[in-house]
Chains A and B, each alone.
Chain A
């Protein structure tokens, strides 16, 4: 499901399946994008932040067009205890690789990988970021 902001429109509530993972996409070229994500985070139930949320920062290929401070993004990841991924959507290779990563994370969050829970995977991801 793709949406531009949270909360989700209520008229489709009955049609929605269970949500296993939320990926917040931040366009590094747009301050508005970061503000939007910060506003939407307030509408997410706390239980999601146990490994079922991830931040995806896009547009990192164009260094001169960065509008968002990296510190702000790291802080976001820390405060919400969720991993931060980076990608450049315009390059097919990176796009496909990122999609595969997200898919793998989704499988874990949905409980399809025996022996790995969303929470344990989340802590694994976090530790590597802090290093």
Chain B
């Protein structure tokens, strides 16, 4: 077995949390149950990985099998990478039947014709998701298995989720290959990025709880709130205000959990509006400024801002439109026209 393959498998196993190693190897299916029984999964990971490599040696593992293990790891722990969302367009209306073999063949052919040294692996999952792992090389060097990009393509949708990693120069080639293989016309990057792949899917496939615009002010829906020990001697003077905030919040965010994104970035290219007497800027140039919100779970924290008394309800639509607009990177320019103001550009 190749030295590099052995090392790669060893390092991949080391990444897996100890209790998950056996289940993942079983999912991998490359080592037989009998072989797995010979490994002591209670020793330190260093030793487990050595034992696993030894067994892979017996089975003559190649880079293909190692790559599959890597895909399985990334499929179970996708949140270790940042994912961007891309959307493909096609001109015609015909919904062609999706041929997986054809897709794989065209994809590989397009990539390999441009770059001989690539490792490409596919794995299909139940939710119509095709995972593609690409290890990049250069015309003169073998593919670097540690510099990988991952693509998740749901064949019934025009959306592709890409985790590009370091080699962004290969992105155009990757996008081109995707477009050709899937019989689309072109592809563009949506301004939507996050660590949580599932949340990105939730946002694009509209699987999160959305607000429904109602014209009649609805009373708050019945919730299963655990009865707090309410002391009747404590009187909340601002109960109406609290209820208004709850209602507005519910209208905007809905009931369910929010998709998990970590950033929202707003690039401002607006004129600085100051007191004319202050005369801060001589030149009438747009004032460039970047505002970035970050949080372990941005949308949930936005949802709790108004009830916590830290912001007025309703929140700015610039913040609340993130799931609907399916973007978390915005450019805000001056509104051209009579009224000075700002608007969000596409």
Contact = CB atoms under 8 A, between A and B. Distances in A.
B236 A2 contact: yes
Interface stretch (B95-103, B155-163, B237-245): B237-245
A4 B241 contact: yes
B76 to A, nearest CB: 38
Contacts of A1: 235-237
Contacts of A11: 240
Interface in A8-49: 8-9, 11-12, 32
B235 A2 contact: yes
What is the predominant secondary structure among interface residues of chain A facing chain B? loop
B219 interface: no
A64 B201 CA distance: 39
B234 interface: yes
A128 interface: no
- Interface range, B side: under 10
Nearest to A9: B237
A127 B206 CA distance: 64
A115 to B, nearest CB: 28
A71 interface: no
What is the predominant secondary structure among interface residues of chain B facing chain A? loop
B309 interface: yes
Contact of A9 (B234, B240, B309): B240
B111 to A, nearest CB: 52
A113 B158 CA distance: 77
A4 B309 contact: yes
Contacts of A9: 237-238, 240-241
Contact of A2 (B234, B241, B310): B234
B258 to A, nearest CB: 24
Contacts of B235: 1-2
B310 A3 contact: no
Contact of A8 (B237, B309, B310): B237
Contacts of B240: 9, 11
Contacts of B309: 4
Contacts of B237: 1-4, 8-9, 12
A20 B241 CA distance: 25
A32 B310 contact: yes
A44 to B, nearest CB: 14
B234 to A, nearest CB: 6
B275 to A, nearest CB: 22
Interface string B203-244: 000000000000000000000000000000011111011000
Given A2-B234, A4-B241, A9-B241, 7 more contacts: A1-B236, A3-B238, A5-B238, A8-B237, A9-B237, A9-B240, A32-B310
12 contacts: A1-B235, A2-B238, A3-B236, A3-B237, A4-B237, A4-B238, A8-B237, A9-B237, A9-B240, A9-B241, A12-B237, A32-B310
